[in-house]
Amino acid sequence: MIGKIGWKAVFGLVVMLIALVAGIAAVSAQEPQVGVYVNSSEIVVFWDPSEGFSNEVIVMNEVYETLVRYDSVTGEFTPVLATSYESSADGLTWTFNLRKGVKFHTGGEMDAEAVKFSIDRTIAGEKGAFYIWDPVESIEAKDKYTVVFHLSYPAAVDIAASAAYCAHIFDPDFSDRDWFYEGHDSGTGPYTIESNEGNTLVILKKFDDYWGGWEGKHFDKVVFQWVPEEGTRRLMVESGEADFTNRLAPSELEALRGVPGIEIVSVPSFQSMLALFNNAKSTDHPIANPLVRKALSYALPYDDVVNSVMEGYARQSRGVVPFGLWGYSDQVKQYTFSPETAKVLLEQAGYPDGGFKVVLTYVAGDENERRTAELWKAELAKLGVELEIRGLPWEAQVDLGSAEDPNERQDILLFYWWPDYSDPHSFLSAMFETQPISFNFSYYSNPVFDALINAAKEQALFNRKAATQLYVEAQNLLMADAAGVAIFDMSSARAKQTSLKGYVDNAAYPHVVFWYDCYREE
């Protein structure tokens, strides 16, 4: 239910929005269109487009653009900053022809040198989803409007060039990291950052010189607000103060179903909930024992989570690669709920009566995560294992998971993963490969696993069947080592105003509303 804090949050945002709209109207004869997106977690974690890897996907894909955009339903690519492209027969050379006359928000012109600079900087920075460019050996600005990618092995550069993170093009003359983190941008997108209040509120305004033009119906401004309380987000959509929210618990969605003026949009996604076990704890900690990790995996009541928590908006995962994305396979081991098996494994591990505690963190305010953890806690208690559940802001979870001493980190991190780009490598490399990737919160390291997924990515362009089999082997190794457990693959269920038109959910860009394509129809 909504408590005092929730009501204050609603009131504060309402006042802010009224002032915002009134201020705009004062300088415009035509009433501007302001879209409002209330998000379940922090709005922006990484402000630098070369470091993107988290919630900022919903803002950065309005402000920055990629060479092409991927349609997760048709599998086709739409021209954006590139008007066309082609690859050589051997898959080692990819040529992109750029759109002419595109301006950065900072005034400069987007050209081949800017594309080369942007991607070279991202690769060199080795942060965020930079690994999507692994095949690239060099980038050539062939002429002002032609960019050529030279690869070390055959790969689908168009997939990387359409990624939701770390594929964005920006102005080389305005690319200072500190400047980005002050809340500035130098993209080419239809919107530019007007203001922000840290990671809690971001306001975008339209970029007048956007290459796509502003004929027709579009939003003039977009407000992104972090509203962690589920009931408050629901109330804001129900009352018309918000146009869209990214996530609500099924119970909250059902409360909105049938309400005049509200629409629930439910579509398949590439998003999963996973529990990553801390594989780096000292050997005297129970979680360091793979038998214990397997026991925890067998103690999770998957059907209850899918049916009572998600209420049909999910299906139990089979491995780390989600259903619907290539690389998914029913050949991957799937843990089942078996308290008997869990008890036997605990006995084999030397804990016949449990007698230990493990700490799980989740994003505070996410009811799906909290209720999943509570169900797990109840089952573990029957085995004598105490599951301590801590709800934290996402950044606090990341900080805890990044502690220098592995023993200070959480034992289990419960969170969602969605793709950086529409490829199984996004799920397997970023979370489990031995490398300094910021989201390997399992701290898993296995050279055989590394070799399997890297062999797979080199097969993917010309032999997807062989690549899939290698990814299957890699996932089965993860399951055998119990590095973590994939819990469910979820459907995206959004609550939005019926008057918000033009919205199309694209699983390749999770939680993104491409606001330029949208408009309000009263």
- Per the prediction, the chain carries an average pLDDT of 92
Tokens representing 361 are 């963190």
pLDDT, tens digit (0-9, with 9 covering 90-100), for 146-171: 999 999 999 999 999 999 999 999 99
pLDDT band, very low/low/confident/very high, at 437 (cuts 50, 70, 90):
low
Residue 8 has pLDDT above 80, yes or no: no
Nearest one of 342, 319, 262 to 488, comparing CA atoms: 319
- What pLDDT score does 86 carry? 98
Helix pair angle (447-459, 464-481), 10° resolution: 160
d(CA 509, CA 270): 9
Residue 424 has pLDDT above 50, yes or no: yes
CB 45 within 8 A of CB 55: yes
Residue 337 has pLDDT above 60, yes or no: yes
pLDDT band, very low/low/confident/very high, at 24 (cuts 50, 70, 90):
very low
- Neighbour tally for 103: CB within 10 Å: 16
- What pLDDT score does 2 carry? 30
Residue 26 has pLDDT above 90, yes or no: no
Question: Burial code of 328-344, b = ≥16 C-beta within 10 A, e = fewer?
Answer: bbeebeebebeeebbbe
- When pLDDT is averaged across residues 234-254 and rounded to a whole number, the result is 94
- What pLDDT score does 155 carry? 94
pLDDT, tens digit (0-9, with 9 covering 90-100), for 362-405: 999 899 999 999 999 999 999 999 999 999 998 899 899 999 99
Hey, which residues does 315 pair with through a beta bridge? 489
- Show the domains of the chain with their CATH numbers: 4-57+183-266+493-520 (3.40.190.10), 63-161 (3.90.76.10), 268-491 (3.10.105.10)
CA angle 9/12/14 to nearest 5° reads 105
DSSP annotation of 54 reads S
- When pLDDT is averaged across residues 13-21 and rounded to a whole number, the result is 49
d(CA 193, CA 346): 53
pLDDT band, very low/low/confident/very high, at 6 (cuts 50, 70, 90):
very low
pLDDT, tens digit (0-9, with 9 covering 90-100), for 451-480: 999 999 999 999 999 999 999 999 999 999
Nearest one of 2, 326, 22 to 156, comparing CA atoms: 326
- What pLDDT score does 51 carry? 96
Nearest one of 480, 125, 207 to 335, comparing CA atoms: 480
CB 165 within 8 A of CB 57: yes
- What pLDDT score does 420 carry? 87
CB 430 within 8 A of CB 437: yes
Sign of CA dihedral 21, 22, 25, 30: positive
- What percent of the chain stands above pLDDT 90? 86
- When pLDDT is averaged across residues 307-336 and rounded to a whole number, the result is 94
C-alpha torsion angle, residues 122, 125, 129, 133 (rounded to 10)? 50
CB 162 within 8 A of CB 512: no
Please state the pTM of the whole predicted model.
0.84
Nearest one of 245, 209, 311 to 43, comparing CA atoms: 245
- When pLDDT is averaged across residues 8-13 and rounded to a whole number, the result is 44
Q: Is 284 left (phi over 0), alpha (psi -120 to 50) or beta?
A: alpha
CA angle 89/92/93 to nearest 5° reads 85
pLDDT band, very low/low/confident/very high, at 30 (cuts 50, 70, 90):
low
pLDDT band, very low/low/confident/very high, at 15 (cuts 50, 70, 90):
very low
Residue 69 has pLDDT above 80, yes or no: yes
pLDDT band, very low/low/confident/very high, at 285 (cuts 50, 70, 90):
very high
- Neighbour tally for 4: CB within 10 Å: 7
- What pLDDT score does 20 carry? 52
pLDDT band, very low/low/confident/very high, at 267 (cuts 50, 70, 90):
confident
Lowest mean pLDDT of 11-20, 43-52, 185-194, name the range: 11-20
CB 29 within 8 A of CB 105: no
pLDDT band, very low/low/confident/very high, at 436 (cuts 50, 70, 90):
low
CA angle 339/343/349 to nearest 5° reads 140
- What pLDDT score does 522 carry? 75
pLDDT band, very low/low/confident/very high, at 359 (cuts 50, 70, 90):
very high
Q: Where are the beta strands (DSSP E) in 40-190?
A: 68-70, 77-79, 82-87, 93-98, 136-143, 146-151
- What pLDDT score does 39 carry? 96
Residue 101 has pLDDT above 60, yes or no: yes
Residue 21 has pLDDT above 90, yes or no: no
Residue 23 has pLDDT above 90, yes or no: no
- What pLDDT score does 374 carry? 98
pLDDT, tens digit (0-9, with 9 covering 90-100), for 133-147: 999 999 999 999 999
